[in-house]
Structure 1
Amino acid sequence: MRPLHRTALAAAALAVATSVALAGCSGGSDDTRGGADATVRVGLVLEPTSLDIRTQSGNALDQVLIDNVYQGLVGRTADGTVRDVLAASHQVSRDGLTYTFTLRDGATFQDGKPVTAKDVVWSLEDVKAHQSYVDADDLASVKTVAATGDDTVTLTLSKPDSDLLWNLTGRAGLVLEQAADNDRTKTANGTGPFEVASWKQGDSLTFRRNPDYWGTKAKVAKVVFRYITDPSTAVNAMAGGDLDVETAVDGTLKSQLQNTSGVTLHTGKTTDKYTLAFNDQKAPFTDVRVRRAIRQAIDPKAVIKAIGGGGVEQGGPIPALDPGYQDLTDVDAYDPAAARKLLQQAGVTKPTLTLTYANVYPTAIGDVLTSELADVGITLTVQRVDFATWLDSVFTKKDFDLSMVNHTEARDFGNWANPKYYFGYDNAEVQRLYAASVATTDQAEKERALQQAAKIVSEDAAAEWLYTATTTTAVRDGVTGFPFDSTTTRLDLADLAVS
């Protein structure tokens, strides 16, 4: 899946001396060391309910565990390109059917065991064998995985897959130790620069430096992720010195940090798609006129203003940072009069609909949608639930009318080509075009197919794309190397340091 998951999160001034005071887990600690002994406290929003990277849905795990604790043969850079990680190098055959990876020397798991070709083969085959694993379908094109040498792994595909390397940078490509017996729901045994030191559910997740990491050692001793769902509480924690970094600063509250001594705000780009999903298999959403009417009733500019300006209009299912993007904001643009006519034509008068979304998202979004839909005769009942309830009722059981969620993951257009996904959107031409985009080995052809498919999805009013988020990160003076782009998707902390 990968919906999600962020919201936002400012407020007294704090005088900061030239050396930065970095306290321990919850603030108030005497640990004020910088340099290699530093502890950095990071404010996040959405906490995982399990640490099992194979089975627990939601981007809360990808955000902190991938790159830092777990790694794959390849990873992704900040700008979205693929880089070698546990693989020292890789080669792709001209026909796109054979991928050969040469493993890096000296890589070990955090329990001290070496990373072997057998571990890589087992990890990928394990994903293929368990369709219940998150993103297991990412390896659907892989026919065989084999150790073709002591340090070589070869993947043979049943058909070309232009997304395979990208998919291997995600959960499906993570390399785990075959012989490990740790409880993955509470602990982790990866290969990255950090280890999971402790997890206090409902409060924080703590990483410590992996002293035996195969690459450049982490530049700080600990990272404490504090989970704070209330935006005002998070801003106050940052301003009051209880956090060293706050991600997803609420746009309506960021002014409280702009004049806080020793704190700097940074703006980043994202692929965070705040999507108003329709249950496309359920009346009245089975009628395209109703779907189009709802889109035309909503003014994305008003939604963006309500959340403090932290977004840009999207208009379609592909954000600007992803392959296949085109400006579709003129499709079913804001036009309340046209919306009323469409509802009348569809014979849907004064409907009452329920909007279900997780309470980690701003109430302002529901307020704006309620007001704008009321203007065209639709009564909207808003239900804000905890995220676990959302996962169960909306994502799993598909028990909803409308739902709003942040789909953070890059290059996830395939959800619109999957009729079993919780949207329930089923369009054979979209599925054909998406399949063509995956099968081609030509990047230009891939882009064209995605653009055609995305335009169909938008014109079919499969959902309403409220906005693509921009993200604001607050950082205390002396803290460097924290990423600013796509912070709800990945937080690669390899360069995190404290002066």
Structure 2
Amino acid sequence: MLIRTAATLALMTTTAMAQQTDITIGMQLEPPNLDPTAGAAAAIDEVVYANVFEGLTRFGPDGTVQPALAESWEVSEDGKVWTFDLHEGVTFHDGTAMDAEDVVFTLDRARSEDSTNAQKVLFENIETVEAVDPGTVRITLAEADGNLPFNLAWGDAVIVAPESAETNVIEPVGTGPFAFEDWVQGDRVEIARYEDYWGEAPALERATFKFISDPNAAFAAVMAGDIDAFPNFPAPETLSSFESDPRFEVIVGSTEGETVLAMNNAVLTDKRLRQAIGHAIDRQAVIDGAMFGYGTPIGTHFAPHNPDYVDLTEMSAYDPDRARELLTEVGEVPTLRLMLPPPAYARRGGEIIASQLREVGIETEITNLEWAQWLEQVFNNKDFDLTIVSHTEPADINIYARPDYYFQYDNPEFQSLIEEAGRVTSAEERGALLQRAQETIAEDAVNAYLFQLAKTGVADARIEGLWENAPTQANDLTGVRWTE
């Protein structure tokens, strides 16, 4: 009897001490689809980047470009021919082999005339993609570009198979350490460890991404333990409650998210009006009111932690008297349509900015849009006057060189700066060009630049390996584990 009791107790102790191998991650926004090569929403990458899909290269948690499906690469002396050596034994989650032909298919598809890739510009410099042999890919560029490995690290450049490319939007098939299992729309996405993964197996066996749009519901879910980690927590005003609770760890870092009051430059054609809008906005009041103090003021579309950043906040400093002077020069201004997507920074920030604009004589009409509506009406159809959004893609000032981008800024001088910055190999020369580019869009008041989005997260204190900063839009679970 004593022996049986001891054995039972030992079994119970072993079970209690077994390391947890599943995790539930909270997200405020649900992705519109699950294919990062076919959508602009950050929420897509937040689920699948590095987890389900992989590219030739990838971003690490410190922002460095690291090998992924390509174990190494070489570049020719003229900077135009890049040769990538692929890892052996890589398979897609449907069991088919991944080889050089899949890379050719992926990159040709991304740069094709009918491509729906949101970052098609990343591939425009590619002349040819060739499969030298199953394990080797040769990419030839029209112009030398030392940023090719960086461009290939984006979620928009993950490798897909021709057999599953068209259905990845609802049932993604990648090469990553986790395979897609289920998507209960409106609720969650589930992934599970892929046992035939070519690389190091993750510690986690399963992960669930749970979508909770309401900040109060998010707070309750984390407090109750229904959510293990909420890397981009939507209720920063409640973080102090978690900081004082030993069950949790509050994780505050930086992101690549330039939060802007974006303006439709095809509608707001008078630079003086755009300047007036910028001078009407008290950035710190927006940060305090919408983000409860979390955020860094910016005066151009560039991350303050980037070594090439120029602080240009004074060019559009809060100056309501100057805003009124400019509006007097402009004349009558019609009511402007302010379209707001779901994130708290947009909804809360929009109300504050509308009030600030009203104080100088600019009236706005606020329309709250769901994410899919915002992507269709604002991003795709450019049917808006003003909107608020965080651009979370890394080092993406080049979007201002695209006249067809949703804020429709067309400046040949700026386009030449970006083109030249892509050609030079000297970091010093490139930095000088990027600084001129920052100054150009600030001078043109393309948008009203608000703040760099902070990464405010909360997690169970026993979890380690979550990213502190966000060099790209991802919830990379490859290094996440429970400590007990």
Whole-angstrom distance in 2 between the partners of 1:323 and 1:54 = 29
Alignment of 1:379-458 (within 5 A): 379-458=363-442
Alignment of 1:114-129 (within 5 A): 114-129=97-112
Is 1:82 paired with 2:69?
Answer: no
CA deviation after TM superposition for structure 1 residue 180, in Å: 4.0
Identity over the aligned pairs, expressed in percent? 34
- Work out which of the residue numbers 31, 52, 61 in structure 2 matches 1:69: 52
- Work out which of the residue numbers 251, 258, 263 in structure 2 matches 1:278: 263
CA deviation after TM superposition for structure 1 residue 189, in Å: 1.4
Whole-angstrom distance in 1 between the partners of 2:142 and 2:16 = 55
The answer for the alignment partner of 2:9 in structure 1 is none
Whole-angstrom distance in 2 between the partners of 1:322 and 1:298 = 24
The answer for the alignment partner of 2:450 in structure 1 is 466
Describe the SS at the equivalent of 1:272.
Answer: strand
Q: Read off the aligned partner of 1:162 and give its amino acid letter.
A: G
Whole-angstrom distance in 1 between the partners of 2:292 and 2:411 = 36
Structure 1 residue runs of 4+, over 6 Å off? none
Is 1:39 paired with 2:38?
Answer: no
Describe the SS at the equivalent of 1:378.
Answer: coil
Instruction: Confirm or deny: 8 A CA contact 1:268 1:470 kept in the other structure.
Output: yes
- Work out which of the residue numbers 239, 262, 275 in structure 1 matches 2:247: 262
The answer for the alignment partner of 2:314 in structure 1 is 330
Quick one: structure 1 residues 196 and 103, their matched pair in 2 at CA, closer, same or farther if it must change by over 3 Å? same
CA deviation after TM superposition for structure 1 residue 415, in Å: 1.1
**C-alpha root-mean-square deviation of aligned residues, in Å?**
1.8
Whole-angstrom distance in 2 between the partners of 1:71 and 1:316 = 31
Q: How many residues align?
A: 465
Unaligned runs of 5+ in 1: 1-30
The answer for the alignment partner of 2:43 in structure 1 is 60
Superimposed CA distance per residue, residues 379-406 of structure 1 (whole angstroms, 9 cap, x where no aligned partner): 1222111111111111111111111111
Instruction: Confirm or deny: 8 A CA contact 1:176 1:189 kept in the other structure.
Output: yes
The answer for the alignment partner of 1:297 in structure 2 is 280
Q: Read off the aligned partner of 1:236 and give its amino acid letter.
A: A
Quick one: structure 1 residues 460 and 81, their matched pair in 2 at CA, closer, same or farther if it must change by over 3 Å? same
Describe the SS at the equivalent of 1:192.
Answer: coil
Describe the SS at the equivalent of 2:313.
Answer: coil
Describe the SS at the equivalent of 1:267.
Answer: strand
CA deviation after TM superposition for structure 1 residue 424, in Å: 0.9
Instruction: Confirm or deny: 8 A CA contact 1:355 1:383 kept in the other structure.
Output: yes
Superimposed CA distance per residue, residues 161-193 of structure 1 (whole angstroms, 9 cap, x where no aligned partner): 233211111234321223447722221211111
CA deviation after TM superposition for structure 1 residue 87, in Å: 1.0
Describe the SS at the equivalent of 1:289.
Answer: helix
Unaligned runs of 5+ in 2: 1-14
Is 1:308 paired with 2:292?
Answer: yes
Q: Read off the aligned partner of 2:219 and give its amino acid letter.
A: V
Describe the SS at the equivalent of 2:144.
Answer: coil
Instruction: Confirm or deny: 8 A CA contact 1:271 1:320 kept in the other structure.
Output: no
Alignment of 1:85-234 (within 5 A): 85-129=68-112, 130-180=114-164, 183-234=167-218
Quick one: structure 1 residues 107 and 32, their matched pair in 2 at CA, closer, same or farther if it must change by over 3 Å? farther
- Work out which of the residue numbers 470, 477, 481 in structure 2 matches 1:493: 477
Describe the SS at the equivalent of 2:434.
Answer: helix
Describe the SS at the equivalent of 2:204.
Answer: coil
Describe the SS at the equivalent of 2:174.
Answer: coil
Whole-angstrom distance in 2 between the partners of 1:71 and 1:481 = 19
Superimposed CA distance per residue, residues 366-423 of structure 1 (whole angstroms, 9 cap, x where no aligned partner): 2211221111111122211111111111111111111111111111111111110010
Instruction: Confirm or deny: 8 A CA contact 1:74 1:87 kept in the other structure.
Output: yes
CA deviation after TM superposition for structure 1 residue 79, in Å: 1.9
Describe the SS at the equivalent of 1:429.
Answer: helix
Whole-angstrom distance in 2 between the partners of 1:252 and 1:197 = 34
Instruction: Confirm or deny: 8 A CA contact 1:182 1:188 kept in the other structure.
Output: no
- Work out which of the residue numbers 13, 31, 43 in structure 2 matches 1:48: 31
The answer for the alignment partner of 2:340 in structure 1 is 357
Relative to the length of structure 2, the TM-score reads 0.92
Describe the SS at the equivalent of 1:375.
Answer: helix
Superimposed CA distance per residue, residues 76-111 of structure 1 (whole angstroms, 9 cap, x where no aligned partner): 112222111111110112211010111112222112
CA deviation after TM superposition for structure 1 residue 302, in Å: 0.4
Q: Read off the aligned partner of 1:343 and give its amino acid letter.
A: L
Quick one: structure 1 residues 389 and 275, their matched pair in 2 at CA, closer, same or farther if it must change by over 3 Å? same
Instruction: Confirm or deny: 8 A CA contact 1:353 1:381 kept in the other structure.
Output: yes
CA deviation after TM superposition for structure 1 residue 364, in Å: 2.2
Describe the SS at the equivalent of 2:344.
Answer: coil
Is 1:373 paired with 2:354?
Answer: no
Q: Read off the aligned partner of 1:168 and give its amino acid letter.
A: L
Whole-angstrom distance in 2 between the partners of 1:189 and 1:401 = 38
CA deviation after TM superposition for structure 1 residue 276, in Å: 0.3
Quick one: structure 1 residues 92 and 487, their matched pair in 2 at CA, closer, same or farther if it must change by over 3 Å? closer
CA deviation after TM superposition for structure 1 residue 217, in Å: 0.5
CA deviation after TM superposition for structure 1 residue 120, in Å: 1.6
The answer for the alignment partner of 1:238 in structure 2 is 222
The answer for the alignment partner of 1:20 in structure 2 is none
Q: Read off the aligned partner of 2:74 and give its amino acid letter.
A: Q
Which region of structure 1 is more displaced relative to structure 2, 122-131 or 70-79?
Answer: 122-131
CA deviation after TM superposition for structure 1 residue 359, in Å: 2.3
Whole-angstrom distance in 1 between the partners of 2:16 and 2:336 = 53
CA deviation after TM superposition for structure 1 residue 263, in Å: 0.7
Describe the SS at the equivalent of 1:254.
Answer: helix
Quick one: structure 1 residues 180 and 287, their matched pair in 2 at CA, closer, same or farther if it must change by over 3 Å? closer
Whole-angstrom distance in 2 between the partners of 1:489 and 1:258 = 25
Instruction: Confirm or deny: 8 A CA contact 1:59 1:488 kept in the other structure.
Output: no
Describe the SS at the equivalent of 1:120.
Answer: helix
